[in-house]
Amino acid sequence: MKTVYLGLSGDIIHPGIINIIKEASKHGEVIVGLLTDSAIASHKRLPYLTWEQRFNVVENIKGVCKVVPQEEWSYIPNLKKYKPNAIIHGDDWKSGHLSKEREEVIALMKEMGGQVIEIPYTKGVNSSALNEAMRSLGTTPDIRLKTLRRLIQIKKPIRIMEAHSGISALIIENIEVEKKDGVHSFDGIWSSSLTDSASKGKPDIEAVDLTTRLLDLANILECTTKPIIFDGDTGGKPEHFVFTVRTLERNGISAVIIEDKIGLKKNSLFGTEVNQELASIEEFSEKLSAGKRAQVTKDFMIIARLESLIAGMPVSDALERARAYVTAGADGIMIHSKEKSGDDIKEFCQKFRAEYTGIPIILVPTTYNHFTEEELTSWGATIIIYANHMLRSSYPAMKNTAESILTNERSLEADKLCMSIQEIIELIPGGK
């Protein structure tokens, strides 16, 4: 019996998939190469279902003989391994970023004496269109919360961008850039205390309370599905922090980051002088442990943020604290610095990585921003947070528009600086 290979993510089963399986089975036994989470995450958003759940669904579809994992985005390794007589694909791969993959598959199948079957892509009902529709339906707190840990297991680096409003979060949810190695997008959202306060015209001094922060976050939660990392400032008193943990967890937030500062909080990047006192290692460790004891799910993450370098202490102090915080239960370490060279951060990352291979390192490269994601990852970084760029870029845009209207005494000239009313209506899910 001949075999036909079909690569699938199998997250959303729709008539187009049933159709291609039916077509494939006319040519032989259908082997489905079910893409693993990491194969998908290199090019697209993480599937809603886990690989095991998708396996369960796909192996029960009529016409499917066998389901095997496809560990790479490319079909080539599995085609070489399973040597099917044919591969079947929708004809949508003739153009766009899949066309190179198509050429390679055609060449290999020719070499192996096999066939490439292309069938018309089902317009309207396809995974991309359904994905879009599912996004507008939203997600559940449980699925969203778990997504960060799933990403940590399969992807480096994880790219997180700050959002301070529903509309800025919508951009992060939807923006994609097609690159040679696939489609790049943001993996999640940073709920920043700095940009949250600044967007309200308030200073970043831990003056905006949790209830207010969560009220704003509700807008972001409503219009997005990506995981959220919450900037918890110092976490407050341990007695308060345990409530924060539960509240964040209940809302489907994936992680909270708390920093080991005491006294009146100032933003870490403010000024050039050392302006912050550090908490004692014991006190901060106890706060972390209290938070870990309070969480209900096993998936929520509490990340310790080291302020040693901001407070003018050496890398050795940061390392000593990192060890203690990991022992206290921290699920990850964020190291912060306002040093432009990045030398201190690099030294910390390399030394910490030599001791701990599995604990995520989180970096916020605001000042040492000349390093690429690839370079930061090579030091050992797991998550990269762009902590304030959506807010910092929106302010000059609004200021230009306001100045243009004042200068011209009408809004005609400002129109080219603005998106159209139609575009803004269509941007909002359900607005069309």
The residues annotated with a catalytic role in the active site are: 204
Stretch that binds Mg ion, among 8-16, 187-195, 287-295, 392-400 (CB under 5 A): 187-195
Query: Residues interacting with ligand SPV, by CB under 6 A?
Result: 192-194, 204, 231, 267-269, 364, 366, 387-388
**Which of Mg ion, ligand SPV, none binds 268 (CB below 5-8 Å, type-dependent)?**
ligand SPV
CB of 51 to ligand SPV, least distance (A): 34
Q: CA nearest 362: which of 143, 159, 154?
A: 159
Binding partner of residue 269 among ligand SPV, Mg ion, none, CB under 5 to 8 Å per kind? ligand SPV
Q: Which amino acid is at 234?
A: T
344 binds, among ligand SPV, Mg ion, none (CB under 5 to 8 A by kind): none
State the minimum distance, in angstroms, from the CB of residue 231 to Mg ion.
Answer: 4
Identify the CA nearest to 104 among candidates 76, 72, 71. Answer: 76
Is 4 or 161 the residue whose CB approaches ligand SPV more closely? 161
Q: Give me the residues paired with residue 67 across strands.
A: 32
| Separation between Cα atoms, residue 348 and residue 370, nearest integer Å | 18
> Which residues neighbour 130 within 8 Å (Cβ) at sequence distance 6 or greater?
12, 14
Q: Which is nearer to ligand SPV, 187 or 204 (CB)?
A: 204
Stretch near Mg ion under the rule CB under 5 A, chosen from 122-130, 223-231, 351-359, 397-405: 223-231
Task: Please check whether residue 41 is in contact with residue 151, taking contact to mean a CB–CB distance below 8 angstroms.
Answer: yes
Contact 78, 92 (CB under 8 A): no
CB nearer to ligand SPV: give 31 or 217: 217
Edge-to-edge strand list for the sheet holding 29-35: 64-70, 29-35, 3-8, 86-90, 115-119
Binds 276: which of ligand SPV, Mg ion, none (CB < 5-8 Å by kind): none
How far is C-alpha 129 from the geometric centre of its chain's CA atoms?
Answer: 21
Q: Which of 147, 168, 193, 195 binds Mg ion (CB under 5 A)?
A: 193
Least distance from Mg ion to the Cβ atom of residue 104, Å: 46
Which CB atom, from 193 or from 404, has the smaller least distance to Mg ion? 193
Which of ligand SPV, Mg ion, none binds 9 (CB below 5-8 Å, type-dependent)? Answer: none
165 contact choice in Mg ion, ligand SPV, none (CB below 5 to 8 Å, kind-dependent) = none
Token duo for residue 269: 């990047």
Neighbours of 47 (CB within 10 A): 21
* Shortest spacing between CB 269 and Mg ion, in angstroms: 9
Distance of closest approach, residue 430 Cβ to ligand SPV, in angstroms: 30
Question: Which one of ligand SPV, Mg ion, none interacts with residue 58, CB within 5 to 8 A by kind?
Answer: none
- CA 145/CA 158 separation, integer angstroms: 15
Shortest reach from residue 366's CB to ligand SPV, in Å: 5
Shortest Å, Cβ 232 to ligand SPV: 9
Distance between CA 59 and CA 87 in Å, rounded? Answer: 18
**Which stretch, 131-139, 178-186, 228-236, 239-247, contacts Mg ion (CB under 5 A)?**
228-236
Q: Which is nearer to ligand SPV, 182 or 203 (CB)?
A: 203
Q: Residue 85's closest CA among 30, 14, 146, 140?
A: 30
Task: Give whichever of 211 and 420 is closer to ligand SPV, judged by the CB atom.
Answer: 211
231 binding Mg ion? (CB under 5 A): yes
Q: Any idea how long the chain is?
A: 432
**Which segments of 251-358 are extended strands (E)?**
255-259, 261-262, 277-278, 301-306, 332-335
Binding segment for Mg ion (CB under 5 A), chosen from 84-92, 186-194, 333-341, 358-366, is 186-194
By DSSP bridging, strand 255-259 and strand 277-278 are unpaired
Nearer of residues 244 and 268 to ligand SPV, judged by Cβ: 268
For ligand SPV, which is the closer residue by CB, 11 or 162? 162
Q: How far is the CB of 387 from Mg ion (least distance, A)?
A: 8
Phi, psi of 230, deg, nearest 5: -100, 130
Pairwise CA distance, residues 329 & 332, whole Å: 9
Alpha-carbon distance values, 50 to 79, 145, 244, 378 (Å): 23, 14, 29, 28
Residue 307 site contact among Mg ion, ligand SPV, none (CB < 5 to 8 Å, cut-off depends on kind): none
**Nearest to 335, CA basis, from 291, 303, 377, 372:** 303
Helix or strand or coil: residue 114?
coil
- Kindly write out the interface string for residues 107-136 of this chain, putting x where it contacts Mg ion by CB under 5 A and - elsewhere: ------------------------------
Q: Which residues of the chain form contacts with Mg ion (CB under 5 A)?
A: 193-194, 231
